[in-house]
Amino acid sequence: DRTDEQKKRFCRALGAINQWYVNEHTPVIVFDVDMPGVDSGHSNLRPYHQRGWCQFECRASGLIKNSRCFWSLKGYEAHGSPGKFVDATKAATTGVLRKPPMPPPEFAEMLREGVRTGEIAFTAGADLDKVIQQYELAFARAFSDTEVLLFGYLGWSDDEFKQLAAALAYAKSNDLLKKTTVVSIVGNKHSEKGKRAVNEAIAGLKITLKDW
């Protein structure tokens, strides 16, 4: 059992947990590998993306994370689990499709619907509202504190750019992009249609869109 002081510390830490995941230079390893079978003895075999807290951790980490700090365990294993750090970094970050930022209302809707249908679960049901709040805080921090938003070389197509545009439009409507001067989309798989969607989302702001 925790002491009263430990409980207070835990609550303070939980209230700021978004800061660790959203920081662009904090390394995050996504445990997105297939779960072991029932014979493994593990009590929780629910896949990574069907876990509520994991949805938050992955989505918050993908908001503005430096691509070298966003690691996929599945990608690492798929490339042979190399032992040298340089090779391990390349393996864990190559080919990992980081999802575009999701506006907080859409994230909340996704989680609530997932919980309703049983596709997403929390060990403690009360965590649903906590996670929704933490994602909203993470999103606000990411888009209000960052001067250069880097979304380059992520393999995104026009579909992902449509989602990115929606996130930027939400950030703009909530006055979160005051510090942002550059949005970089270099090296993706989008067409002029995708680029136009992003341009329209940040129209009227003093932000340069870099695509070269």
Cα-based distances in Å from 34 to 11, 45, 78, 117, 158: 32, 9, 12, 22, 29
CA distance 203 to 199: 6
- Residue type at position 191: S
Q: Distance between CA atoms of 72 and 33, rounded to whole angstroms?
A: 8
Residue in 164, 166, 184, 176 with CA at minimum distance from that of residue 205? 176
For 57, the 3-state DSSP assignment is helix
Distance, in Å, from the CA atom of 55 to the CA atom of 48, rounded to the nearest integer, reads 8
Q: How far is CA 176 from the centre of its chain?
A: 18
pLDDT tens track, the chain, 212 positions: 789 899 889 888 888 889 999 999 999 999 888 877 767 777 777 888 999 999 999 999 999 998 889 998 988 998 899 999 999 988 888 766 689 999 999 999 999 999 999 999 998 888 999 999 999 999 999 999 999 999 998 889 999 999 999 999 999 999 999 999 999 999 999 999 999 999 999 999 999 999 98
| pTM across the whole model | 0.89
**Contact call for residues 185 and 211 (beta carbons, < 8 A):** yes
Beta bridge partners of 184: 150, 210
